[in-house]
Each structure stands twice: as C-alpha cells, then as structure tokens.
C-alpha cells in the first residue's frame, strides 16, 4: 500500500498537465491507485442518457482523479507549495510541518 503525502481537505497545487498552476481542495484520496480527487481540477465531460422519467440527459462535467505525484500541498500560513515533512514531539506524537516556514499543518 502506498502512503500519500496529501490528505483529504488539504489545499494543493497542480505541478504538471493541463491544469498546471491551479489550486484546489482534495475531496478524496485513492492510496491503492496513488491518485487524488481535487475539486475543480481535471474536469471531463460525460454524455449521459436519461435513466428515469424525470432525469434529464445531456453533457455533465465531472472531476476525475489525477496522480498524487503531480500535486504538492500548499501551506495555509505562507501560501507556498511545500513538501511533506513530519515532526516527532517528545511524547511521540507526529505532526505535519511546512518546510518553508516551520508551521504545523
């Protein structure tokens, strides 16, 4: 199982691809596939057929997962992209910290 450096509700920036430079919130993570689903990023159009009587068909926009190495977490304090770093306190608790400003995330 792969461990991801980003978690749900983190703000991330896309490093490569058609959405390069855009920021978004992580909605869901898929550790087995090494992918993340980000709000408003990697949107594709699906042509859907009406399945029920009141269900309208048409073109629906939907977010698709992208590879986790293509995104980097943004520090909420300094607003800069940062790599994942962990700080282990004296009592043994781990916390994520920003490598640029040193603030806990």
Using one digit for the tens of pLDDT, what is the confidence trace for 1-59? 457 888 999 999 999 999 999 999 999 999 999 999 999 999 999 999 988 888 888 99
* 45/104: higher pLDDT: 45
Contact assessment for residue 28 and residue 36, using Cβ atoms and an 8 Å cutoff: yes
Structure token pair of residue 15: 């490093």
Structure token pair of residue 103: 């603030």
Chain segment 68-99, per-residue pLDDT in tens: 999 999 998 888 998 878 888 888 888 888 88
For the chain, the domains span: 1-74, 76-105
- The predicted structure's pLDDT at residue 96: 87
CATH number, span 1-74:
2.30.30.30
The helix/strand count (H/E) of the chain reads as 0, 9
Give this prediction's pTM.
0.82
**Residue 82 is inside which H or E element, if any?**
none
């Amino acid at each position: 199982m792969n461990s991801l450096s980003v978690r749900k509700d983190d703000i991330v920036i896309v490093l490569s691809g058609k959405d390069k430079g855009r920021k978004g919130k992580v909605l869901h993570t898929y550790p087995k596939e090494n992918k993340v689903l980000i709000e408003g990023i990697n949107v594709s159009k699906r042509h859907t057929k009406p399945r029920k009587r009141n269900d309208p068909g048409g073109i629906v926009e939907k977010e698709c997962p992208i590879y986790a190495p293509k995104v980097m977490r943004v520090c909420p304090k300094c607003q800069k992209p940062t790599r994942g770093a962990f700080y282990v306190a004296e009592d043994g608790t781990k916390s994520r910290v920003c490598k640029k400003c040193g603030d806990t995330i």
